[in-house]
Amino acid sequence: MFRKLYAWLIASPPRTLALGFAFIIALGSFLLHLSAASRTGEPTRYIDALFTATSATCVTGLVVVDTGEHYSTFGQIVILTMIQLGGLGFMSMATLFAFFLKRRISLKERLILQEALNQSSIEGIVRLVRRVVLYALTIEAAGAALLAIRFLRDMSPGKAIYYGIFHSVSFFNNAGFDIMGGFRSLTGYVGDPLVNLVTMALIVLGGLGFVVLSDLTDLRSGRRLSLHSKVVLTMSGSLILFGAIVIFAFEYSNPGTLKPLDTGTKILSAFMQSVSPRTAGVNTVDLPALRQATQFFIVLLMFIGASPGSTGGGIKTTTFAALLGAVWAIIRGREDVVMFRYRLAQERVYKALTLTLLAVALVLTATMILSTTEDHYFLMILFEVVSAFGTVGLSMGLTSDLTLFGKIVIMLMMFAGRLGPLTLGYALVPKRDKVLYREAEGKIIIG
Amino acid sequence: MLTIGFAVIITIGALLLRLPISTVSREPTPWLEAFFVSGSATCVTGLARLDTVNYFSVFGRWVILVLVQLGGLGFMTMGTLFAFFAGRRLSLKDRLVLQEAMNQGSLEGIVRLVRRVLVYALCIEAVGALLFTFRFMHEMHFRKALYYGVFHSVSFFNNGGFDLFGDFRSMADYVGDPYMNLLAIVLIVLGGVGFVVLSDLVELRERRKLSYHSKVVLWVSAFLIVLGTVTILIFEYSNENTLGPLGFGQKLLAATMQSVSTRSAGVSTVDIGSLRDATQFAMVLLMFVGASPGSTGGGIKTTAFAVLAAAVWAMLRGRTDVVLLGLRVERNKVNRAITVTMLSLAIVIASVMLLSITERQGFLLILFEVMSAYATVGLSAGITGDLSTFGQVVIIVLMFIGRLGPLTMTYALGTKSGRTLYRYAEGRIIIG
């Protein structure tokens, strides 16, 4: 029975994953549609329930109704379960894809991978999934405890623990759902170092991806970091730092956001706003009040997103790094794209390029469609579309005003943004040795 | 060398335009304004803060026209030269292929090539001017009509986008005039396909075969024009301020005109500021792609766009080779196309962010203006006149970079093959 399932899974993993996600979303939307899920006892409109379920399962965090005020405790727990399933399910599947289900995996690769993960074939998969779940639950528990301690000051112990768990799970899975009420996200805690630091740590750990987490844990036993982990860590580190500096500089004198805060808080919230677009979706300042330049910059951060095999979305840090590496190589007149003294296969660079261009095409098309159907200005629509595609969940307020058609487009974007890059990354492998001829070379002028 | 040449022309142009005799009011133009016009003309952009016909005297307009002609032809010649003769390491084989293609070699070849470019350009411009004059004679006396004909023919062929109709209206008065529109479209397209393609087309009768480059350019240009027309037609069909009031034929004509003009001439027959957001954004994308290499237009160029699309297609089909119209594109070329596109994107994005801080305008308007400047288009959604001093400087710099950037980048970006004697071991990272 298990072997049969395994065989079916392995026949077309992306299909399995897409079906699994669709199933969870359908089930979740049905549960959220029940009258027990809403606070007033009246059933939520089906389209809104479906939207929330999609947003939760794709760990996005865009909401059409306020999670804290509209849904009952039962509804909130349904949402939380979907986030956990969506986030962890995706994380394990993506890690599996990357390590075991490669189309044509050579014996050599298999040996290297087995060595890297200390496991093989079916029992390996089970052990890997168990390890992913263990890691995630440990981190989430630690986060929940820390957040609960802080919330104890504001609310009763029972509520504080519940709030702690909800936000810890939501943040680690980069979902960005909150139950603070009034679409406020964490704006009430803008100056609180504990909440901010715990949140950032959870988001970053969730966004690095399992491979890197596992690498980091093994670091103490004397192992060296893999190239993948080095690239991910360097890229994430520089993006966070660069993002914080840019946001700090752009918003320093903006009375609607950072200006009223003291310097320490300014730095803290600049970092928070820099971490969150990749791709958690929590905010401590009012997003529509940000300057246009900052909003656009956040759009770029959201597009890049988190790292492969993580709970976050976007085109992924490694994709971005591969593109940067390619540009740098050409500028320096080198044939090979080199990172940390390793060469990237040309095929991976093209893969990164394809993924990015398709993502750009998808985002641009959706933006154009929505700018004809929604009566809002351009940057707001672009922001919302990229937020959905990167499964971020930051919103400038468009989501709650969406037309029915707009809601459907945004839901599709979340689904495509969650599954697209992984599926593409998996499917895009050149069929080597299949083509026995090559076309003659043609000459054209570029630029 | 090219950069210095352009800088010198712009400076001389600014000096001349600053003179009191260049303006109608006989008052000297401020430095920055003069530089803006001169930069815009030399980079054949067409963004204008001052009304060309109402602000500048006849002398000033001649200066602008000469700058457009110098900028356009100079660039076309240099672009073609770069592509054919000045390639960094031209192997004997390459040289033979090129000589065969162009029927010429080395120094006298260059002189002959430049002469040929000039002859082609002047012939087309003369015909265009003549045809324009016929049309203008309906409205004005002969000498003025001739002057208008020459000015617009030169401006359009060089994808300059300057006009003498006044009040920043561009060709809005001629929105339904098939003769004017078709003429303008033909001039823009001929200027935008590049000299290599023109020369190929002329020799078509003797050789009966287009070069690979020409085929790619023609297909992509045609595809983009049709795609742009259809998009604009659909988005604007019911817009009261643009295509709404027109008959279907005129709608089609206006949509085609806007689609052609966006890459990268900068003439318009409808009010760009009244277009819907979706249309403006579609135009931003068309502007980014721009014209073809070795032409008077800007942008990342049709060939770079085609190569990128082909690379994505190859990857989706699981092929290692990038194949375009039945021939393989060298990996090196694909990498160059990627680099030009990425660097262009980076420049545009950085400028948009800078300007969104300094200018109090909507995001899309700023994006439109920046793209228009970078791709040397010259269409404006209406904020050129309101730019702050800093904004003007940014736009001037963008026009300059946009004009010289893609060419210089591709010229400078050659792989030094055979230089590195070692390769690094292959490392693995996970993409996506």
Residue type, B78: M
Q: With 80 as the cut, is the pLDDT of residue A439 above it?
A: no
Contact A348 B301 (CB under 8 A): no
Q: Is residue A351 part of a domain?
A: yes
Q: With 70 as the cut, is the pLDDT of residue B377 above it?
A: yes
Contact A447 B363 (CB under 8 A): no
Q: Of B349, B356, B430, which is closest to A98 when you measure between CB atoms?
A: B430
Q: With 60 as the cut, is the pLDDT of residue B98 above it?
A: no
Q: Of B294, B319, B327, which is closest to A440 when you measure between CB atoms?
A: B327
Residue type, B331: R
Mean pLDDT of all residues in A384-412:
89
* Listed range (A202-211, A385-394, B96-105, B378-387) with the worst mean pLDDT: B96-105
Top-confidence residue, A114 or A196:
A196
Q: Is residue A444 part of a domain?
A: no
Q: Is residue B271 part of a domain?
A: yes
Residues B213, B219, B222, B227, CA torsion sign: negative
Q: At what angle do helices B106-136 and B195-202 cross, to 10 degrees?
A: 80
Q: Of A98, A293, A334, which is closest to B356 when you measure between CB atoms?
A: A293
pLDDT digits (tens, 9 = 90+) for A336-349: 888 888 888 877 88
* Per-residue pLDDT band at B48 (split at 50, 70, 90): confident
Residue A12 is part of which domain span?
A: 7-103+118-427
Bin A340: left if φ > 0, else alpha if -120 < ψ < 50, else beta: left
Contact A357 B308 (CB under 8 A): yes
DSSP code string of A351-408: HHHHHHHHHHHHHHHHHHHHHHHS-S-HHHHHHHHHHHHTT----SS-GGG--HHHHH
Q: With 70 as the cut, is the pLDDT of residue B102 above it?
A: no
pLDDT digits (tens, 9 = 90+) for B229-245: 999 998 888 888 878 88
Task: Return the pLDDT at A117.
Answer: 47
Residue type, B84: F
Q: Is residue B417 part of a domain?
A: no
* Listed range (A109-113, A147-151, A155-159, A211-215) with the worst mean pLDDT: A109-113
> Structurally, how many domains does chain B consist of?
1
Q: Is residue B118 part of a domain?
A: yes
> What does the alpha-carbon distance between residue B76 and residue B190 come to, in Å, rounded to a whole number?
12
Q: Do B81 and B113 touch, CB atoms closer than 8 A?
A: yes
Q: Of A308, A421, A447, which is closest to B340 when you measure between CB atoms?
A: A447
Q: Is residue A136 part of a domain?
A: yes
> What does the alpha-carbon distance between residue A206 and residue B50 come to, in Å, rounded to a whole number?
55
Q: Is residue A433 part of a domain?
A: no
Classify each residue of B280-307 as buried b or exposed e, where b means 16 or more C-beta atoms within 10 Å of its C-beta: bbbbbbbbbbbbbbbbbbbbbbbbbbbb
pLDDT digits (tens, 9 = 90+) for B146-163: 988 999 999 999 888 888
* Per-residue pLDDT band at B222 (split at 50, 70, 90): very high
Cα–Cα separations (whole angstroms), residue A125 to A85, A226, A287, A415: 18, 20, 42, 25
Mean pLDDT of all residues in B328-344:
83
Task: Return the pLDDT at A50.
Answer: 92
DSSP state for residue B237 in the 8-state scheme = T
Nearest in space to B298 (alpha carbons), one of B76, B69, B115, B123: B76
Task: Return the pLDDT at A384.
Answer: 92
Q: What average pLDDT does the structure give for chain B? A: 82
Top-confidence residue, B119 or B109:
B119
Q: Is residue B429 part of a domain?
A: no
Mean pLDDT of all residues in B70-88:
69
Task: Return the pLDDT at B324.
Answer: 84
Classify each residue of B394-423 as buried b or exposed e, where b means 16 or more C-beta atoms within 10 Å of its C-beta: bbbebbbbbbbbbbebbbebebeeeeeeee
Contact A342 B424 (CB under 8 A): yes
Nearest in space to B162 (alpha carbons), one of B60, B10, B232: B60
Candidates A112, A355, A429, A445: best to mutate against B (most CBs of B within 10 A) is: A445
Mean pLDDT of all residues in A366-389:
90
**Which H or E run contains A199?**
helix A193-208
* Per-residue pLDDT band at B112 (split at 50, 70, 90): confident
* Listed range (A175-184, A247-256, B36-45, B213-222) with the worst mean pLDDT: A175-184
- Which residue in chain B is spatially nearest to A247 when comparing CA positions? B353
Residue B191 is part of which domain span?
A: 2-92+99-412
Q: With 90 as the cut, is the pLDDT of residue A386 above it?
A: yes
Q: With 50 as the cut, is the pLDDT of residue B86 above it?
A: no
Classify each residue of A53-70 as buried b or exposed e, where b means 16 or more C-beta atoms within 10 Å of its C-beta: bbbbbbbbbbbbbbbbeb
Task: Return the pLDDT at B163.
Answer: 84
Q: With 80 as the cut, is the pLDDT of residue A45 above it?
A: yes
Q: Is residue A108 part of a domain?
A: no
Q: Do A340 and A321 touch, CB atoms closer than 8 A?
A: no
**Complex-level ipTM:** 0.84
Q: With 80 as the cut, is the pLDDT of residue A403 above it?
A: yes
Gap from A146 CA to chain B (nearest CA, Å): 32
Dihedral (C-alpha) A308, A314, A320, A321: value to the nearest 10 degrees?
-30
Classify each residue of A23-32 as buried b or exposed e, where b means 16 or more C-beta atoms within 10 Å of its C-beta: ebbebbbebb
- Which residue in chain B is spatially nearest to A95 when comparing CA positions? B430
- Which residue in chain B is spatially nearest to A379 when comparing CA positions? B363
Q: Do B348 and B371 touch, CB atoms closer than 8 A?
A: yes
Q: What percent of chain A has pLDDT over 70?
A: 85
Residue type, A88: L
Q: Is residue B227 part of a domain?
A: yes
Q: Is residue B419 part of a domain?
A: no
Q: What is the pTM of this model?
A: 0.87
Q: What average pLDDT does the structure give for chain A? A: 83
Scan for tokens 């240099």, then name that residue: B78
Task: Return the pLDDT at A447.
Answer: 58
Strands (E) across B194-350 are located at 322-324, 327-329
Q: Of A326, A352, A367, which is closest to B335 when you measure between CB atoms?
A: A326
> Structurally, how many domains does chain A consist of?
1
Contact A372 B276 (CB under 8 A): yes
Task: Return the pLDDT at B105.
Answer: 44
Task: Return the pLDDT at B247.
Answer: 84
Contact B303 A445 (CB under 8 A): yes
Q: Do B212 and A444 touch, CB atoms closer than 8 A?
A: yes
Top-confidence residue, B429 or B313:
B313
**Which H or E run contains A442?**
strand A441-442
- Which residue in chain A is spatially nearest to B337 when comparing CA positions? A446
Q: Is residue B430 part of a domain?
A: no
* Per-residue pLDDT band at A142 (split at 50, 70, 90): very high
Contact A250 B352 (CB under 8 A): no
Q: What percent of chain B has pLDDT over 90?
A: 17
> What does the alpha-carbon distance between residue A277 and residue A52 come to, in Å, rounded to a whole number?
19
Contact A379 B363 (CB under 8 A): yes
Residue type, B72: G
Q: Of A330, A336, A444, which is closest to B212 when you measure between CB atoms?
A: A444
Gap from B60 CA to chain A (nearest CA, Å): 32
Contact B318 A315 (CB under 8 A): no
| Residues of B whose CB is below 8 A from A347 | 320
Strand-strand pairing, B327-329 and A441-442 = parallel
For residue B96, with 0-12 CB atoms within 10 Å meaning exposed, 13-18 middle and 19 or more buried, which class applies?
A: exposed
How many Cβ atoms sit within 10 Å of the Cβ of residue A22? Answer: 14
Task: Return the pLDDT at A221.
Answer: 75
Task: Return the pLDDT at A87.
Answer: 86
- Which residue in chain B is spatially nearest to A290 when comparing CA positions? B357
Three-state secondary structure call for residue A343: strand
Dihedral (C-alpha) B221, B223, B227, B233: value to the nearest 10 degrees?
70
Contact A319 B431 (CB under 8 A): yes
Q: Is residue B431 part of a domain?
A: no
> What does the alpha-carbon distance between residue A133 and residue A128 come to, in Å, rounded to a whole number?
9
Contact B235 A372 (CB under 8 A): yes
Mean pLDDT of all residues in B14-31:
85
Q: Is residue A109 part of a domain?
A: no
Mean pLDDT of all residues in A73-100:
81
- Which residue in chain A is spatially nearest to B365 when comparing CA positions? A378
Task: Return the pLDDT at B100.
Answer: 47
- R_g over Cα of chain A: 22
DSSP code string of B152-175: HHHHHHTT----SSSTT-TTGGGT
Q: What percent of chain B has pLDDT over 70?
A: 86
Task: Return the pLDDT at A119.
Answer: 42
Q: Is residue A441 part of a domain?
A: no
pLDDT digits (tens, 9 = 90+) for A172-217: 988 888 888 777 788 888 888 888 999 999 999 988 888 788 888 8
> What does the alpha-carbon distance between residue A177 and residue A166 come to, in Å, rounded to a whole number?
9
Q: Is residue A390 part of a domain?
A: yes
Q: Do A66 and A182 touch, CB atoms closer than 8 A?
A: yes
- Which residue in chain B is spatially nearest to A112 when comparing CA positions? B428
Gap from B108 CA to chain A (nearest CA, Å): 23
Task: Return the pLDDT at A441.
Answer: 67
Mean pLDDT of all residues in A58-65:
87
Task: Return the pLDDT at A134.
Answer: 87
Top-confidence residue, B69 or A420:
B69
Contact A430 B406 (CB under 8 A): no
